[in-house]
Structure 1
Amino acid sequence: MRTVADPHRTMPRAMRFYRTSTRLIEPFAPRILRSRLAKGKEDPDRWHEKLGQPSTGRPNGPLVWMHGVGVGEVLALRGLVSLMRSARPDLNVLITSSAASSATAFANNPIEGTIHQFLPLDTPKASGAFLDYWQPNLGIWAEQDLWPGIVWDAAARGIPQAMVNARLNGAALAKRQRAHKLYKAALDCMSLIDAQEDDTAQNLKALGAAEVSVSGSLKPVAPPLADWPEARAQLAPRGPFWVNAPSHPADEALAIAAQKQLKGQRTLVIAPRLLGRVDDILTTCRAEGLTAARWSDGLPDTAVDVIVADTFGQLGLWYRLADAALIGGTFSDIEGHNPWEAIALGCAVIHGPRTANFANDYAALSDGGATLATSAQEIIAALADTTRTRAKAEATRSAEFDRKAALAARLLELIDG
């Protein structure tokens, strides 16, 4: 852990240029947000938060501010929240994000002691209003989403900051190197930088980070996704279940091919990553001779082969019902989704060969904690033996808690100076 430079130090030229540019566009910010609102890209009730206008009160006592850009980052931060609050129950946590869908995901998977707001635009007026109102005792940035202006403004106010769960591949490094002086100025404001793996640590150092520790991903220690007990009780008699989630066309095709052979033995739940594809999935299933129903329409009294889960934020329901999950995006250039959400709910993980987005997570599970499948037949074989896989995955997950508890302790030290 390093000491941040004097908060009154001279602003580097790259940061001055960036702040001047954002100041010039600031008068147009409301118009830009209203345009996005008209396109359905902003929350109609909360878009003013992106101008630094809060929609709820600041709680009394110490406040840790954590930022993750989208759904996955926000849900992963919940594990860090739990670890920090278990050591310091007086902590309040403000979680910010940028994507509109992240607010829905957070609302569906709440955690005690936290509130959610949208991160303000990175303009002097918006970021200043945000920091003046919330007055965080610590700022934590997740993965790779650093907003240089607000980072600098927080440091100038003497607010310690950290970057956790950092992930920066070669392509992302190449993009950032075009503005490497700006990123170095932001990284210099961090008291602690912790990466998911060694390649990210080296890439951050190439951008100017002085010290980077490595403690792995936060995703294994995230609390389980929310339960839907009434729906689960309604569905349980229809089991057994297996699930393909969050699904994409390539993995859906294999799941449907497998389900044709499992017809009458199991119910397949397909939970698409993009809900606008639900009608296409239903059409494909029926064309393949499978009975299929949309979850939000209500299920028929008779059994169906496939349920298409079209309600956002209910993965906790489906992972609890299923004994195995075919993790989507692992058969295409999506390069995979998070396996730990399924594992945390006792669901065995089956995946395809393309897992670059979660390479270290799947590597940690490669010794029996997850099953690689490349065909419908291999998926069926994996479904026949899930007990050992689930046990091995849970043991791997448990081992991660000690590593992340140590990281939480280091972050708590920053609050106390």
Structure 2
Amino acid sequence: MRFLYTLVLWLLLPFVFVRLALRARKQPEYWHHLGERFGFYPVKDLKPVIWLHAVSVGETRATVSLVAKLRAAYPDHQILLTHTTPTGRATSEQLYGDGVMRVYLPYDYPFAVRKFMRHFKPRLGILMETEIWFNLIHEAHTAGVPMLLLNARLSEKSAKGYARVASLTRCALQQLDAIAAQTADDAVRLARLGAQRVSVMGNLKFDIAPPQALLAVGVSLRRQFGAPRKVFLAASTREGEEALLLDAWQARGSAEGALLVIVPRHPQRFAEIADMLGRRGLSYQRRSENRVVPADVQVVLGDSMGEMFAYYAASDLAFIGGSLLPFGGQNLIEACSVGTPVLIGPHTYNFADATRLAVEAGAAVQVSDAAELILVAQRLLNDSGALAGMRKQGVQFVAAHQGATDKAMNVIAKVLG
């Protein structure tokens, strides 16, 4: 089965370059460091390497508490972070600077992942969340590199996909030295696919400490927005959601003078959203202008990277994007950690457990569509008591579910000692 899988990868190789070219039209960084995607690396460190793979922005942010504890526990090791997307790599640069090495993970061709293993010779490999690459895991196993799957999550939808290649999935999962899942449901789904040595660790994203520097930026942002004015944030919105949101926002006459702040998930869409706002006749200002927002401005376009904590801290209420349309939702824990009340749409399979717990705790409200989203937002923005209660519940909700990092370190210690 792995031979057939690899054969398909080779047949798809021309389309890999086409896909890179298409993505690079909007985000030129996709052409940068191209050799790394095939196992060619200019950087090397003489220290023994602990390697973590974090695909993009969310997974990279989730590594913060784990990287801090790894550096403290293993000071003679070099931390290597691998990524798949330019935004993930940029997030790593913002979080860690030169404190870690960072490269792209090679595509899952045997020659490329073999070169990766030979170049870095990691003492340990850690895959974050749902990264099951069949050749990567096989080559690590062959090279004697212990591999862990930490903070693992597997939705029903993803589990059905992996079940279609059951023997390939089972082999890869059984070559992992340990798996620590976010929830018991995730652990059960992984076990059904053949995983062994599965434990439950909770979610690393709860072990978050909002950066004080970004909270200070949030205070400054709030002054720019206008302290007395209510601020409704649409965070990490995905393609198609902004139009739905603005339709409902304009249909209800905005929210009695409230400022709408839209921060698209992907920076290559900033210009697209600016055009959308202009076509709709909405007065808007870009965050990058970095100036006071006049009272007649209806929308702020958050065209900056790495400031999500600041946006949350500057807002009265936040909608978490990726959930109005079936993208699976984004991380609501960051908003709750700074005490920002949360609204979230119906599509939350990427964060199903965290969403359920947040709603049960009173830190979030789940809505069915854009019309209900704006209706509930208007109601809450006019109810300071309700917002205060949700702020308190959000902070308590995050604190109550912390501890995943220590459990992850226990799993790692059994391998590294």
What's the TM-score once normalised by structure 2's chain length? Answer: 0.83
Return closer, same or farther for 1:378/1:120 CA change in 2, 3 Å cut-off.
Answer: same
Partner of 1:227: 214
Return closer, same or farther for 1:302/1:20 CA change in 2, 3 Å cut-off.
Answer: closer
Does residue 148 of structure 1 match 2:137?
no
8 A Cα contact 1:239 1:267, kept in partner: no
Return closer, same or farther for 1:103/1:201 CA change in 2, 3 Å cut-off.
Answer: same
8 A Cα contact 1:49 1:118, kept in partner: yes
- Within-5 A mapping of 1:48-197: 48-58=35-45, 60-110=46-96, 113-197=99-183
User: SS where residue 242 of structure 1 aligns?
Assistant: strand
Task: Give 1:243's aligned amino acid.
Answer: L
Q: What per-residue deviation string (whole Å, max 9, x for no partner) do you get for residues 229-264 of structure 1? A: 67963662433333111122334444556772331x
Partner of 2:353: 360
8 A Cα contact 1:293 1:307, kept in partner: yes
Distance (Å, rounded) in 2 between the aligned partners of 1:222 and 1:65: 21
> Which residue of 304, 308, 312 corresponds with 1:315?
308
Partner of 1:282: 277
1:389, distance to aligned residue in structure 2 (A): 1.7
1:64, distance to aligned residue in structure 2 (A): 1.6
Distance (Å, rounded) in 2 between the aligned partners of 1:393 and 1:300: 29
Does residue 329 of structure 1 match 2:322?
yes
Task: Give 2:319's aligned amino acid.
Answer: L
Does residue 295 of structure 1 match 2:278?
no
Distance (Å, rounded) in 1 between the aligned partners of 2:351 and 2:253: 26
Q: What per-residue deviation string (whole Å, max 9, x for no partner) do you get for residues 187-232 of structure 1? A: 1111111222233222212221123222232222244367396796
Distance (Å, rounded) in 1 between the aligned partners of 2:137 and 2:64: 22
1:65, distance to aligned residue in structure 2 (A): 1.0
1:101, distance to aligned residue in structure 2 (A): 2.5
Task: Give 2:277's aligned amino acid.
Answer: L
8 A Cα contact 2:226 2:293, kept in partner: no
Return closer, same or farther for 1:392/1:82 CA change in 2, 3 Å cut-off.
Answer: farther
Distance (Å, rounded) in 2 between the aligned partners of 1:308 and 1:120: 34
Between 140-149 and 367-376, report the one with greater CA deviation. Answer: 367-376
8 A Cα contact 1:80 1:222, kept in partner: no
Return closer, same or farther for 1:276/1:168 CA change in 2, 3 Å cut-off.
Answer: farther
8 A Cα contact 2:225 2:292, kept in partner: no
1:156, distance to aligned residue in structure 2 (A): 1.4
User: Which segments of 5 or more consecutive residues in structure 1 lack a partner in the other structure?
Assistant: 1-13
Distance (Å, rounded) in 1 between the aligned partners of 2:193 and 2:277: 47
Return closer, same or farther for 1:89/1:346 CA change in 2, 3 Å cut-off.
Answer: farther
8 A Cα contact 1:323 1:346, kept in partner: no
Partner of 1:271: 263
Distance (Å, rounded) in 2 between the aligned partners of 1:16 and 1:221: 40
8 A Cα contact 2:323 2:344, kept in partner: yes
8 A Cα contact 1:33 1:47, kept in partner: no
Return closer, same or farther for 1:236/1:56 CA change in 2, 3 Å cut-off.
Answer: farther
1:19, distance to aligned residue in structure 2 (A): 5.0
Q: Percent identity?
A: 26
Between 107-116 and 391-400, report the one with greater CA deviation. Answer: 107-116
Partner of 1:9: none
User: SS where residue 245 of structure 1 aligns?
Assistant: strand
Count of residue correspondences: 393
Does residue 369 of structure 1 match 2:363?
yes
> Which residue of 164, 189, 197 corresponds with 1:211?
197
1:297, distance to aligned residue in structure 2 (A): 4.8
Partner of 2:396: 395
User: SS where residue 39 of structure 1 aligns?
Assistant: helix
> Which residue of 375, 378, 383 corresponds with 1:380?
378
Q: What per-residue deviation string (whole Å, max 9, x for no partner) do you get for residues 83-133 of structure 1? A: 433444444321112123322232233377423211011122211111111
User: SS where residue 162 of structure 2 aligns?
Assistant: helix
Return closer, same or farther for 1:45/1:166 CA change in 2, 3 Å cut-off.
Answer: same
Does residue 245 of structure 1 match 2:235?
yes
Between 228-237 and 70-79, report the one with greater CA deviation. Answer: 228-237
1:160, distance to aligned residue in structure 2 (A): 0.9
Distance (Å, rounded) in 1 between the aligned partners of 2:317 and 2:290: 23
What do you get for the CA RMSD once the two structures are aligned?
3.0
8 A Cα contact 1:258 1:379, kept in partner: no
Distance (Å, rounded) in 2 between the aligned partners of 1:203 and 1:109: 32
8 A Cα contact 2:218 2:313, kept in partner: no
Return closer, same or farther for 1:103/1:256 CA change in 2, 3 Å cut-off.
Answer: farther
Return closer, same or farther for 1:338/1:140 CA change in 2, 3 Å cut-off.
Answer: same
8 A Cα contact 1:244 1:252, kept in partner: no
Task: Give 1:272's aligned amino acid.
Answer: P
Task: Give 2:214's aligned amino acid.
Answer: D
Task: Give 1:139's aligned amino acid.
Answer: G
What's the TM-score once normalised by structure 1's chain length? Answer: 0.83
Distance (Å, rounded) in 2 between the aligned partners of 1:114 and 1:344: 26
User: SS where residue 281 of structure 2 aligns?
Assistant: helix
Distance (Å, rounded) in 2 between the aligned partners of 1:285 and 1:350: 24
Return closer, same or farther for 1:372/1:38 CA change in 2, 3 Å cut-off.
Answer: closer
